[in-house]
Amino acid sequence: MCTTELGYTAKLKPEFERRGVKVLGLSVDPVESHHRWEKDIEETQGTAVNFPVIGDADRKVSELYGLIHPNASDTLTVRSVYVIGPDNKVKLSITYPASTGRNFDEILRVIDSLQLTSQHKVATPVNWRDGQDVIIVPSVSDDEARERFPDGWKTVKPYLRLVPQPGSKG
């Protein structure tokens, strides 16, 4: 993780906590170097690192998950994000090139979608944001949909039924 990403993640801690999400970082640098790095992060990003960062100096975890960039040095990692659900299964994996910082607004959006769709038989459409309409999954019959969504829905196509987001205040 880069300095700016660690700082931004620390600033987002209340957002992660609101969603019941725990953040964990992994670095190919030894733990001793993290202490110096964390001081740099606090100085340059205006916030202290407030989540664990695991040292993977022997690169066992990084190699296991393909996090070392294949065309770069041993310490240049790709920028991967994994969202692991309460069932300990990977729900999302996003890998950015080492030259591109991660988009944490998108990561939060995906977490919102994953949590919503795990609780209701809905899917989120393109560029969906919390509070917007969602799609009733095609496996839900109209009879079941009437039970689940008694206020109705808009049918665009038989497989594309839009409904207000369950639990949304909007």
The boundaries of every CATH 3.30.1020.10 domain in the chain are 120-163
Q: 1, 2, 10, 115: which one is catalytic?
A: 2
What pLDDT shows up at residue 170?
52
Q: Please tell me the predicted confidence (pLDDT) of residue 119.
A: 94
Global pTM value: 0.88
Angle, to 10 degrees, between the axis of helix 104-119 and the axis of helix 3-11? 50
Query: In terms of CATH, what superfamily is 3-102?
Result: Glutaredoxin (3.40.30.10)
Numbered ranges of CATH 3.40.30.10 in the chain: 3-102
As a whole number of angstroms, the distance between CA 117 and CA 91 comes to 12
- Mean pLDDT for back-to-back runs of 10 residues, the chain (170 residues): 89 97 90 89 95 90 78 64 93 86 94 96 97 97 96 96 86
Q: What is the per-residue pLDDT for 11? A: 97
Q: Which fold has domain 120-163?
A: Antioxidant, Horf6; Chain A, domain 2 (3.30.1020)
Has 39 been annotated as catalytic?
no
pLDDT score recorded for residue 45: 96
Q: Give the pLDDT confidence of 98-145 residue by residue, as tens digits.
A: 788 889 999 999 999 999 999 999 999 999 999 999 999 999 999 999
Which helix (H) or strand (E) segment holds residue 82: the answer is: strand 79-84
Report residue 68 as tokens. Answer: 């070392």
> Phi and psi at residue 106, in whole multiples of 5°?
-65, -40
